[in-house]
A and B are shown apart, each in its own frame.
Chain A
Amino acid sequence: MKKRLNLICLGIVLAVLVSMSFLFSTFYYGFKAGIDAYEQGAAGVEKLDVTYKMIGTMPTDVITNETATAINEKDGSTVSILPFISMIGVPNEKVDATDSIFLSLLDWMVMICCIYAIVQFVKMIRNIHRNIIFDWANVKRLRRLGLSLILCFCCSLVTFAINNHLVSQVISLKDCDFSIAFQFSDPTLLIGFTSLLFAEIFAIGLRLKEENDLTI
């Protein structure tokens, strides 16, 4: 029984590591870009005064869509592309300081929620390894895990919506709307609600167990 549990946990850890490696590589490239910009600024090179925002787009006409073009490096031709999630630069003067602070706070919230969810998950698995399975502590951990993931998703969604709003003030794309719909493909919300569902199933099981234990 524990062997199967260990295998599932190993799978989850691997999936988290892959996702973390993506986050770290994004952080690394962002950090490197920041250092480069600083060095260029110090050397007197005029720097690109933009901040990049991640946005989601929703094509209004998929068949005749010519939302964006890109150069195909293989043959040098220009091809039509359909971006769903893009990083778009917004001039710095368009981003107000309040928005920047609010977005930073949301990013911190997302990070704190993710770490909190991981801690709850690890504690729950540790409990199961100690044969503490049908216990109210596990129900509480599952509930906290679910709520933190839902909060994490909500913060990401608000960040996405603000970014879309900021970008929509600067540019508009042909046959394409800025939309937050794509953010719903993120499985965080689904996992959050699934955790809450499992917490309730655990709670029902625990109540039945208590009733059974107290039947004389």
Chain B
Amino acid sequence: MPIIVNLDVMMAKRKISLGELAERIDLTPANLSILKTGKAKAVRFSTLEAICKELNCQPGDILEYQSEE
């Protein structure tokens, strides 16, 4: 998929673990792991909002478009 999830980069920048972030945004670690590894098919705006609020960043910092060519 040409949409790249850079959640791991932002988490490393903010020095926050997956479990901690999952707890703060009220998501299961398994679901957050799916999002982090780029296996997710879609992201709800509410989830994106919670992540951005918690990591103090913009949606563009987490999601990136890369052409497949």
Contacts and interface: CB of A to CB of B under 8 A. Distances in A.
Real binding pair:
yes
Nearest to B42: A215
Interface string A57-74: 000000000000000000
Q: Chain A at the B interface: mostly helix, strand, loop or mixed?
A: mixed
Interface in B28-42: 31-32, 34-35, 39-42
Contact of A214 (B32, B40, B47): B40
Contacts, number: 23
Contacts of A216: 27, 31-32, 34-35, 40, 42-44, 47
Contacts of B34: 214, 216
Interface string A186-216: 0000000000000000000000001100111
Nearest to A214: B41
B62 to A, nearest CB: 12
Contacts of A211: 41-42
Interface residues of B, number: 12
Contacts of A210: 41
A90 B18 CA distance: 80
Contacts of B40: 214-216
Contacts of B44: 215-216
Interface string A66-92: 000000000000000000000000000
A94 to B, nearest CB: 64
A210 B39 CA distance: 11
Interface in B18-58: 27, 31-32, 34-35, 39-44, 47
A210 B41 CA distance: 9
A43 to B, nearest CB: 77
A216 to B, nearest CB: 5
Contacts of B47: 216
A215 B39 CA distance: 10
Interface of B: 27, 31-32, 34-35, 39-44, 47
Interface of A: 210-211, 214-216
10 contacts: A210-B41, A214-B34, A214-B40, A214-B42, A215-B40, A215-B43, A216-B31, A216-B32, A216-B35, A216-B43
Given A210-B41, A214-B34, A216-B47, 17 more contacts: A211-B41, A214-B39, A214-B41, A214-B42, A215-B41, A215-B42, A215-B43, A215-B44, A216-B27, A216-B31, A216-B32, A216-B34, A216-B35, A216-B40, A216-B42, A216-B43, A216-B44
